Amino acid sequence: MSGFQLIVRGLLAENPVFRLALSMCPAVAVTTNVKNGFLLGCAVVFVQVMSNLTASALRQFVHQRVRVVIYTIIIATWVSAIDMIMGAYLPDLYDQVSLYIKLIVVFAIIISRMELFASKNPLIPSLFDGLGMGLGFMFGLMMIGAVRELLGSGQLLGFDLLGTKPLLIMILPAGGFFVIGFLMAIFNTVLKKLGLGAPPAGGHH
Amino acid sequence: MMLKHIAKIALNLTVICFFAGTVLGLVNLGTQKAKEENQHKREMLTSMSLLGYGAGNPAPPDLEMRAVSRYLLSVDGAPALGYVLPVDNNPVFIVLSVEGEKLLEIPAPDAHQADINQNLSSLMGKEVSGLRHVEDYRIALLDGKVLGYLIVGNNLGFKANIRMMISLNADFSVRGMAILESEEDPGLGDEAKEPYFRNQFAGKSAEQLARTGVSTSPQPEEYRALLEAQPEGHFTAEEMERLRTVYGDSPIYSITGSTISSTAVTVGVQKAVSRFVYRLQQVNAALAAARTAPPAPAGEPEEEGV
Amino acid sequence: MKKIMLIAAMLAALATSALAGDGLTLKAGSFADAHSIEVEFLSPLSGLEGLEPSHWRVVEASSPDIALPLEKVELAPANPNAARLTFRQNLDMGQPHQVTLASPRGSGKIEVTRNMLAVLLTLFLSAAVINNYVFSRYLGLCVFFGVSQHRDTAVGTGITFTLVMTCSGILSWAVFQFILKPLSLGFLQILVFIGLVACLVQALDTILRKINPVLFKKLGVYLVLITVNCIILAVPLLIADRNFNLAESFFFAVGAGLGFAMALYLMANVRERLAVARVPASFQGLPIAFIVCGLFALAFMGFSGLSLF
């Protein structure tokens, strides 16, 4: 698969947020506005890409029996790194999402990509695969963030758009769940029309 | 062979841990400094903004910031207060009893020696223990005259502790307020950071502030317009005058749906300001009493603050 | 003989109390509510003379120079031995307060701190209900949607999670306080905690297998789900972030686990019914589950601001 195809697959058919329903926790927590969603998305892209690259670089070396442990350590390292970097250089934005950035370490998606793809492929394809999955995640988060920000605070990226009073519920947890549920349903309908088929069995990690 | 497997696994784990340790150690070193610097920069920006300076109005070079540090200590078992005061160019350390009686006054560098408690005990002839730093009050001076004071207050909000910085004029009336740290809900308690709430404190005299309550009635349109006219709180002299005379006695209008957070912020500001004013008066009264500080011994290195 | 001694003792007691005047001795104090302190004396109060606000001095431990403005003193409604001191402003209950009485009727000093049990129970309630991990913090969703389809799996997962969360909460508290903090290795939190959880799960797996095979058969399968889970890592991270002590960590972790278990059970009940309802094709499965979750979150919002203690 070419690099571009890998990216598109991550964005649409196997979009981690809407289709694979993986790593949902941050999707609801962080997406009170687009900026937060973008921030977490960037963090995930960073972790996914760096972990993929590391796993790919070490693929000849890693012993089968300890590979889960090794992958977990790799992911934890990169998550701690991005956590510290964001905390130092983007303190205002970081404060709101700090817990959820630390929780990137438990995203099943990252370790599953490492296992399924990066451990069997050279560096460059692993890079693109990571990029695709990460961007798909970011795209999902930003979309949820956009809907919630628009409906919940009448703004988009800080610019007031709606003239009327916004629906405060949208930026509270309940609204987050509603928005994701509806967006998922929309995604399902659209993709079914595009012929990309039913989602892979969702609902685990 | 079993041994070969074990050896390989062990090698794997060692290399990985080494890798993890190196990466994290390096990142930590690199970011720690940046973190402290950025935090300091942010507080400086907030402080300057609260004093009325910003991008369009930079602080003049002869603006001086001095700090009054407050300490708590125990003298002969009773609590007492210590202050490091920037008196002219020689910082002074004084110890006041709870009633305001001056127990000791020495040049600050003399206090800062190996075992502070021991040193103070011998200087005062009483049993001193538990000296600890509590907070700093900052004084902004322009042309040798007090431009304003910057103090920090905090109070438990709806979710977690809210920290705020308050800027006072020389006459202790409020110039502005900024929220430093809070974890309140966006759209609710977090709105305390918005100009229409936080600028409400501007213009109130110390006495008006002490009397003010929190009202759940809707904020008058005109008041809101005036507050939002200067989002940074850099009101013109005219606007400040209006805030003081027309709205000085009005209550703090709470954020819709966040009475608890609004009250918490208001009480936090009230407590911080009233305590600061009280303490400054105590300190000035104690200093005004006959000064008996010995001159600093010749050759002693000048240390700024403690 | 005995009777005489008894009468003598009574007379002596009366005499002492008469000589001492109506001596009031302070016994203890507690926070009655957000702006009052209840002070208990050794003997019943006959009146409020000598107990006017001017005779009291109440300060926060960290600000001994600021006497808190006392508005009024009255007899406590429920306790004849106690007086209630009401203040103009809300008290900062997180700090110990020192209450000093200097009156012709008696004098003394006591320290008033928050009831530890109240603090712990509030923490428990907060973790379980008010800031429920699923409905208010959006954590554990990973496992939540997968497991909440049937009631028995929900219960099993809930129990296992509570167990592991409590153990990992306590262990991580210990590691954080005694190893990471003193050595300034805070930045290794994530790595250390996830390692801790993984080892703990592995250990529990082995122990359970050996000690109670029946229980293992019922709950063992859920142990696998725990390791890579947001909620299991969130508890140690929050404990470290807020610097709890041991008791607080314990109640916090147990509250989180039980709250999660309750959320799972509630969802499972609804989803069993949803499985036989007529849901539109696009919504089947996860989308409708999310919307139901949103409705629960809405309901749980009603708990915010709840404070029983």
Contact list, C229 vs chain A (CB under 8 Å): 106, 205
Say how far apart CA B238 and CA B129 lie, in whole Å. Answer: 51
User: pLDDT at position B305, please?
Assistant: 31
Taking an 8 Å cut-off on Cβ atoms, the answer to whether C138 and A108 are in contact is: no
Cα separations (Å) of B60 from A137, B51, B165, B222, C166? 48, 12, 21, 33, 57
Single-letter code of the amino acid located at C192: V
Report yes or no: B148 and B53 within 8 Å, Cβ to Cβ.
no
For residues C91 and C133, membership in a common domain is answered with: no
Taking an 8 Å cut-off on Cβ atoms, the answer to whether B34 and A81 are in contact is: no
Nearest CA in chain B to C304: B158
Structure tokens at C30: 């507690």
Say how far apart CA A128 and CA A112 lie, in whole Å. Answer: 15
B281 touches chain C (CB under 8 A): no
Contact list, C90 vs chain B (CB under 8 Å): 263, 267
User: pLDDT at position B151, please?
Assistant: 94
C111 touches chain B (CB under 8 A): no
For residues C141 and C286, membership in a common domain is answered with: yes
Taking an 8 Å cut-off on Cβ atoms, the answer to whether C62 and B275 are in contact is: no
Q: Angle A108-116/A123-153 helices, nearest 10 degrees?
A: 160
Say how far apart CA B53 and CA B142 lie, in whole Å. Answer: 13
Tell me which chains share at least 3 CB pairs under 8 Å with chain C. Answer: A, B
Taking an 8 Å cut-off on Cβ atoms, the answer to whether B19 and A81 are in contact is: no
Q: Is the pLDDT of residue C220 over 80?
A: no
Cα separations (Å) of A84 from B17, B33, B134, B245, C100? 19, 11, 28, 48, 48
More confident position, B293 or A150: A150
Domain boundaries, chain B: 68-136, 145-283
| CA nearest to A27, candidates A94, A97, A113, A74 | A97
In degrees, rounded to 5, the angle at the alpha carbon of residue B134 between the alpha carbons of residues B133 and B140 is: 100
Q: Is the pLDDT of residue A204 over 60?
A: no
B14 touches chain A (CB under 8 A): no
User: pLDDT at position B201, please?
Assistant: 92
Say how far apart CA B135 and CA B71 lie, in whole Å. Answer: 7
Nearest CA in chain A to C227: A106
Closest partner residue to A84 (CB to CB) among B12, B31, B186 is B31
For residues C165 and C263, membership in a common domain is answered with: yes
Report yes or no: A84 and C186 within 8 Å, Cβ to Cβ.
no
B7 touches chain A (CB under 8 A): no
**What is the C-alpha end-to-end distance of chain A, expressed in Å?**
26
C305 touches chain B (CB under 8 A): yes
Round the average pLDDT of chain C to a whole number and report it: 84
C contact residues 176-235, partner A, Cβ 8 Å cutoff: 187-191, 194-195, 198, 225, 228-230, 232-234
Report yes or no: C53 and C72 within 8 Å, Cβ to Cβ.
yes
Taking an 8 Å cut-off on Cβ atoms, the answer to whether A81 and B23 are in contact is: yes
Mean pLDDT calculated for residue range C167-179: 91
Per the structure, the complete domain to which residue C197 belongs is given by 117-303
Say how far apart CA A1 and CA A118 lie, in whole Å. Answer: 14
Taking an 8 Å cut-off on Cβ atoms, the answer to whether C297 and A177 are in contact is: yes
B134 touches chain C (CB under 8 A): yes
Contact list, C69 vs chain B (CB under 8 Å): none
Report yes or no: C117 and C81 within 8 Å, Cβ to Cβ.
no
Say how far apart CA B286 and CA B280 lie, in whole Å. Answer: 10
The predicted complex's ipTM stands at 0.77
Q: What are the backbone angles phi and psi of residue B58, rounded to the nearest 5°? A: -70, 155
Band of pLDDT at residue C90, cut at 50, 70 and 90: confident
More confident position, B233 or C219: B233
Say how far apart CA B302 and CA B12 lie, in whole Å. Answer: 56
Contact list, A171 vs chain B (CB under 8 Å): 186-187
Of chain A, the percentage scoring pLDDT greater than 70 comes to 79
Closest partner residue to B20 (CB to CB) among A73, A92, A172 is A73
| Residue C9 CB partners (closer than 8 Å, separation 6+) | none
User: pLDDT at position B117, please?
Assistant: 77
Q: Long-range contacts of range C304-308, CB-CB < 8 Å, 24 or more positions apart?
A: C304/C130, C304/C136, C305/B158, C305/B260, C305/C130, C306/C125, C306/C129, C306/C130, C307/C122, C308/C121, C308/C122, C308/C125
Q: Is residue C4 part of a domain?
A: no
Q: Is the pLDDT of residue C78 over 70?
A: yes
Closest partner residue to A189 (CB to CB) among C189, C190, C282 is C282
Nearest CA-CA distance, residue B115 and chain C, Å:
23
Cα separations (Å) of C296 from A173, A181, C132, C138, C270? 10, 13, 11, 12, 10
For residues C123 and C31, membership in a common domain is answered with: no
For residues C36 and C145, membership in a common domain is answered with: no
Nearest CA in chain A to B29: A84
Which residues on neighbouring strands pair with residue B156, listed in sequence order? B161
Nearest CA in chain C to B133: C62
A58-101 per-position pLDDT tens digit: 888 887 777 888 888 899 999 999 998 988 888 777 777 788 88
For residues C74 and C184, membership in a common domain is answered with: no
C46-65 per-position pLDDT tens digit: 888 878 888 899 999 888 88
Selected for mutation to probe chain C from B28, B95, B280 (highest C CB count within 10 Å) is B28
For residues C174 and C262, membership in a common domain is answered with: yes
Nearest CA in chain C to A174: C294
Cα separations (Å) of B276 from B40, B138, B268? 23, 11, 12
User: pLDDT at position A205, please?
Assistant: 34
Contact list, B96 vs chain C (CB under 8 Å): 65
The three-class DSSP label of residue A7 is helix
Selected for mutation to probe chain C from A44, A77, A106 (highest C CB count within 10 Å) is A106
In degrees, rounded to 5, the angle at the alpha carbon of residue A73 between the alpha carbons of residues A72 and A74 is: 90
Domain boundary among C90, C112, C134: C112
Taking an 8 Å cut-off on Cβ atoms, the answer to whether A74 and B20 are in contact is: yes
B136 touches chain A (CB under 8 A): no
For residues C95 and C229, membership in a common domain is answered with: no
Closest partner residue to C301 (CB to CB) among A172, A180, A205 is A172
A12-55 per-position pLDDT tens digit: 666 655 555 556 666 677 778 888 888 888 999 999 999 999 88
Report yes or no: C265 and C151 within 8 Å, Cβ to Cβ.
yes
Question: Per-residue b/e over B84-112, b at no fewer than 16 CB within 10 Å?
Answer: bbbbeeebbbbbbbbebebbbbbbbbbbe
CATH of the domain at C103: 2.60.40.1220
What's the 3-state SS for chain C?
Answer: CHHHHHHHHHHHHHHHHHHCCCCCCEEEEEEEECCEEEEEECCCCCCCCCCCHHHEEEEECCECCCCCCEEEEEECCCCCCEEEEEECCCCCCCCCEEEEEEECCEEEEEEECCCHHHHHHHHHHHHHHHCCCCCCCCCCHHHHHHHCCCHHHHHHHHHHHHHHHHHHHHHHHHHHHHHHCCCCCHHHHHHHHHHHHHHHHHHHHHHHHHHCHHHHHHHHHHHHHHCCCHHHHHHHHHHHHHCCCHHHHHHHHHHHHHHHHHHHHHHHHHHHHHCCCCCCHHHCCHHHHHHHHHHHHHHHHHHCCCCCC
Query: Sign of torsion, CA C22 C84 C90 C301?
Result: positive
User: pLDDT at position C302, please?
Assistant: 82
Nearest CA-CA distance, residue A2 and chain C, Å:
31
For residues C136 and C229, membership in a common domain is answered with: yes
Selected for mutation to probe chain B from A66, A148, A151, A167 (highest B CB count within 10 Å) is A66
C91-107 per-position pLDDT tens digit: 888 889 999 988 888 88
Q: Is the pLDDT of residue C17 over 60?
A: no
| Residue C204 CB partners (closer than 8 Å, separation 6+) | C163, C164, C167, C223
B278 touches chain C (CB under 8 A): yes
Query: Sign of torsion, CA C163 C165 C168 C169?
Result: negative
User: pLDDT at position B266, please?
Assistant: 94
Closest partner residue to C65 (CB to CB) among B24, B27, B81 is B81
Nearest CA in chain A to B7: A63
Nearest CA-CA distance, residue A47 and chain B, Å:
13
Q: Is the pLDDT of residue A178 over 50?
A: yes
More confident position, C148 or B30: B30
Domain boundary among C88, C112, C136: C112
A-B interface: how many C-beta pairs under 8 angstroms? Answer: 67
User: pLDDT at position B178, please?
Assistant: 93
| DSSP symbol at A202 | -
For residues C108 and C123, membership in a common domain is answered with: no
Say how far apart CA B241 and CA A69 lie, in whole Å. Answer: 66
The three-class DSSP label of residue B121 is helix
User: pLDDT at position C13, please?
Assistant: 62
Nearest CA-CA distance, residue B158 and chain A, Å:
15
Taking an 8 Å cut-off on Cβ atoms, the answer to whether B98 and C65 are in contact is: yes
Report yes or no: C264 and A135 within 8 Å, Cβ to Cβ.
no
Q: Is residue C10 part of a domain?
A: no
For residues C233 and C269, membership in a common domain is answered with: yes
For residues C133 and C107, membership in a common domain is answered with: no
In degrees, rounded to 5, the angle at the alpha carbon of residue C41 between the alpha carbons of residues C71 and C72 is: 10
Selected for mutation to probe chain A from B15, B17, B31, B183 (highest A CB count within 10 Å) is B31
Nearest CA-CA distance, residue B161 and chain A, Å:
14
Nearest CA-CA distance, residue C215 and chain B, Å:
33
Mean pLDDT of residues grouped by 10 in chain B (306 residues)?
A: 80 85 88 86 89 84 88 88 83 86 79 70 83 89 89 86 92 92 79 90 90 89 88 86 88 87 92 93 81 39 31
Tell me which chains share at least 3 CB pairs under 8 Å with chain B. Answer: A, C
* The total number of structural domains that make up chain C: 2
State the Cα torsion A146-A151-A155-A156 to the nearest 10°. 10
**What is the C-alpha end-to-end distance of chain C, expressed in Å?**
53
Taking an 8 Å cut-off on Cβ atoms, the answer to whether A73 and B35 are in contact is: no
Taking an 8 Å cut-off on Cβ atoms, the answer to whether A102 and C190 are in contact is: yes
Report yes or no: A84 and A181 within 8 Å, Cβ to Cβ.
no
Alpha carbons within 13 A on the beta-carbon side of C253: 29
Say how far apart CA C159 and CA C167 lie, in whole Å. Answer: 13
